[in-house]
Amino acid sequence: MDVFILLLEGIFVSFEPLNLGLLIFGCLIGLFVGAMPGLGSVNGVAILIPITFIIPPTAAIIFLAAVYYGAMYGGAISSVMLGIPGASTAVATVFDGRPLAVKGEAMTALTAAAVGSFVGGTVSVILFTLFAPPLAEVALRFNAPETFALMVMAFATFVGLGGDDVPKTIFSILIGLALSTIGLDLITGKPRLIFFNIPGFLHGINFLVLAIGIYGIGEMLWTLEETKGKVQMSKLSVNMKEVGRAFGALKKTIMAMNIGSFLGFFVGILPAAGATPASLMSYGITKQLSKNSKEFGSGVPAGVVAPECANNSASTGSMLPMLTLGIPGSPTTAILLGGMILWGLTPGPLLFTQEPEFVWGLIGSLYIANFFTLVLNIALIPAFLMVLRIPFAILAPVIFVLCVTGGYAPTQSLHDVWLMLLFGFAGYILRKLDYPVAPAVLSIVLGPLAEKALRQSLILSDGSMGIFFDMAEKPIAAIIMYIAIVLLIMPAFGPLYRKFFKKAQTT
């Protein structure tokens, strides 16, 4: 098989001393930028691009891909240990990772994150190796109506996300959607909802600002109230029994791994979506399909595995359209794409044949980067756990500083820091009133994607919604749309269904 020879050559390329050294170095940097709130893979890669002018393109892409990859792993660390999403891609990891840590099962959460990431990353790179060209064709046929249908499907899974209180969940979704419309109108380019004419609103509400505010500041306030500044957990031991328990818990997460890997990869190869929506959607769908969906949010390993698996899978997936079509599948690949052009490569359909060493070197390096980050992460778990032994009175100011820098970093604007603090207090109050906040965070990410796809589709169809249900012309869109409707109705009938199902089981 041609593919395997090429892949082997690629793996050899990534074992060259310079490449291997850069790969390991890149993974470490990635872990760091991923774990630092506000510094995600986007910033990490953007900052490092100028350095890559002095090394060959293959080494450069291996290095930057390792940074990208490591960041997917690293994001989980601060999500679990501090309750601040380390990167936008790890926001969904907070949902269950943080409660697990608070319950004293941080070890399980970190193991689940590392293993989940490894599985997602490996499955996707295998899919990438085997099916890159046909998948590029799929990405090419996936246009505005299909994207909107997919977004509707994602929103449908959110309704079940906030537990049984559907009205409160819908309220939360609508708040997120309203916030996502602030800034620039996506189609006409006119400013929209610029409160008090403050220029900072022109770039909209950055989703990380909301997530760091709600989860970082809100969580900090909440924990301060609960622990009164004392050490959060006193009993924390790392022994073989704990390790065994952590790995044992993974048995129940096989479904989450499957959903995360395949959904993540698929969302990743679609243009403009990327790892953040993929991880959020994977969480929503896993929860929806899980037998014990009610426990999600209170700390289940599957709730950590689903998003972590998906974000690694999607980050590999998003390199596919970058390489084969020259379009970024995520914000980070947008910068990588710029890098490729600066290194003198032309991304596009011919890249695989013109630059085999570059392409296959990158693919080969992904296998190795995955393995390396898994080992590194598992080995470092005891070090990460030390964080929980610090009294919260000391930890709280550190978290606060991390939140402020995290809110500032993406746009370098103080305006966003104030907004972040405001969201922090709002998040704290919402939590006191028992409102689910996750759906708001999800909708601020997917809102703009959905709005754009909807309006593009409606321009194409001259305003007719029929474009989404046209089985003859756009079968993919129609099928996804029908699935979405079923998913939307499910939570309403869910309790009825479960009642019926349980009865059938017991008799």
Q: Which residues bind another protein (CB under 8 A)?
A: 42, 46, 49-50, 53-54, 139-144, 183-191, 197, 199, 202-204, 271-272, 321, 325-328, 331, 334-335, 337-338, 341-342, 344, 346-351, 411-412, 452, 456, 459-460
Closest approach of another protein to the CB of residue 373, in Å:
24
- Please, is 171 exposed, middle or buried when counting C-beta atoms within 10 Å of its C-beta (0-12, 13-18, 19+)? middle
Nearest approach, Cβ of residue 467 and another protein (Å)? 11
Q: Of 292, 225, 295, 299, which Cα lies nearest the Cα of 255?
A: 292
For 178, the enclosing helix (H) or strand (E) is helix 166-180
CB nearer to another protein: give 100 or 409. Answer: 409
Q: How many CB atoms lie within 10 A of CB 123?
A: 21
8 A C-beta contact, residue 180 and residue 205: yes
CB 111, min distance to another protein, A: 34
Rounded least distance, CB 49 to another protein, Å? 6
**Looking at beta carbons only, is 229 or 326 nearer to another protein?**
326
CA-CA-CA-CA dihedral for 421, 423, 425, 430, to nearest 10: -170
DSSP letter, residue 57: H
Residue with the two structure tokens 């965070």: 441
Q: Going by C-beta distance under 8 Å and a sequence separation of 6 or more, which residues neighbour residue 258?
A: none
Cβ atoms of 320 and 271 closer than 8 Å: no
Closer of 141 and 241 to another protein (Cβ):
141
> In the chain, what are the helix, strand and coil shares in percent, each to the nearest 5?
80, 0, 20
Q: Which residue lies nearer to another protein by CB, 96 or 355?
A: 355
Residue 183: φ, ψ to 5°: 115, -130
Amino acid at 139: A
Cβ distance to another protein smaller for residue 118 or 207:
207
Query: Cβ closer to another protein: 234 or 353?
Result: 353
Output DSSP code: residue 38: T
**Is residue 94 within 8 Å of 83, Cβ to Cβ?**
yes
Q: How many CA atoms lie within 13 A of 413 on its CB side?
A: 16
Q: Any bridge partners for residue 391, and if so which?
A: 231
Nearer to another protein, 178 or 396 (CB): 178
CB of 150 to another protein, least distance (A): 15
Task: In whole angstroms, give the CA distance from residue 295 to residue 292.
Answer: 6
Comparison of 82 and 144: residue with beta carbon closer to another protein: 144
Q: Least separation, in Å, of the C-beta of 146 and another protein? A: 10
Q: List phi, psi (to 5°) of 452.
A: -60, -45
Residue number, 172 or 332, with CB nearest to another protein: 332
Report the nearest approach of another protein to the CB of residue 39 (Å).
Answer: 15
What's the closest the beta carbon of residue 273 comes to another protein, in angstroms? 11
Residue 141 CB, shortest distance to another protein, in Å, is 6
Whole-angstrom CA distances from 462 to 105, 188, 335, 454, 457 are: 54, 16, 34, 12, 8
For another protein, which is the closer residue by CB, 39 or 388? 39
User: Which is it for strands 183-184 and 191-192: parallel, antiparallel or unpaired?
Assistant: antiparallel
Q: Which is nearer to another protein, 395 or 409 (CB)?
A: 409
Interatomic CA distance for residues 268 and 274, integer angstroms: 5
